[in-house]
Structure 1
Amino acid sequence: MLGEKIGEGSGKVISQRVLPGAGGPPKMETSFQGAGKLMGLASQETGTYVAALRPDGTLFGEGQGIVMGPQGESATWTGQGVGLLQKDGSIKYRGALYFDSKSPTWSRLTSIAALFEYEVDAQGHTRGQLFEWK
């Protein structure tokens, strides 16, 4: 069941490159930076994910990232998701993130699965929301 919203943010794609696929099609590596809130606290995030185009036209992505708070709080995440290409050039991803944090403010994140909605428009602007999975 989808629980409370625990985060949201927006940002920008900062780099992309094509990687060779190991015995398959090439993959796209995308890095982004953004700002928002995580569990009510201001945050800055940097992440990178690699997405592969599947035969049905969807994307499968895997990534990792680092989130920093204003008082030195930190958390890392790893995740996976499925992307849908839109006619306007944007991509909508849905998936799950798993956090690790020793910062007291964010330590609860290590015991939950977080579901995300993440979108990238044709100009590389990102926005996302994060929900606790109960």
Structure 2
Amino acid sequence: MRPDGSLYGEGQGIIMTREGDTVTWRGQGIGHFDDSGGVHWRGSIFYETGSPRFAELAGTAGVFEFDTEESGKVASKVYQWN
């Protein structure tokens, strides 16, 4: 948590298909609590892959919205930054 009450977060992960194709990602974002106890995240995400299946993501960046509710429900959107 930051002094102004906002949150800062970083993450990284991998997306893998059953066939073994992979995309790795690394992201950073800023979060804000809402009145119901949920958090609204906004940030950037960067992708890397050597997989032909995901070639369009190789070396790309995106911006994301990731919203959580106190109940545990989540929703997210990622927009490719061209």
When normalised by structure 1's length, the TM-score is: 0.57
Match for residue 113 of structure 1? 61
The structure with the largest strand share of the pair is 1
Question: Does 2:38 match 1:77?
Answer: no
Give the corresponding residue for 2:73: 125
Would you say the 8 A contact 1:90–1:122 is kept in 2? Answer: yes
User: In the alignment, what sits opposite 1:59?
Assistant: 7
Q: Which residue number in structure 2 is paired with residue 96 of structure 1? A: 44
Task: Report matched runs for 1:36-55 at 5 Å.
Answer: 53-55=1-3
Q: TM-score, normalised by structure 2?
A: 0.89
Match of 1:28 in 2: none
Give the 4+ runs in structure 1 shifted more than 3 A. none
Other-structure match for 2:34? 86
Please, which runs of 5 or more residues in structure 1 have no aligned partner? 1-52
One-letter amino acid of the structure 1 residue matched with residue 68 of structure 2: V
Q: Which amino acid aligns with 2:10?
A: E
Matched-pair contact (CA < 8 Å) for 2:60–2:80: yes
Aligned-pair Cα RMSD in Å = 1.3
Structure 1 CA distance for aligned equivalents of residues 18 and 75 of structure 2: 20
- List alignment gaps of at least 5 residues for structure 2: none
Which deviates more from structure 2 when the two are superposed, residues 92-101 or residues 70-79?
Answer: 70-79
Shift of 1:97: 0.6
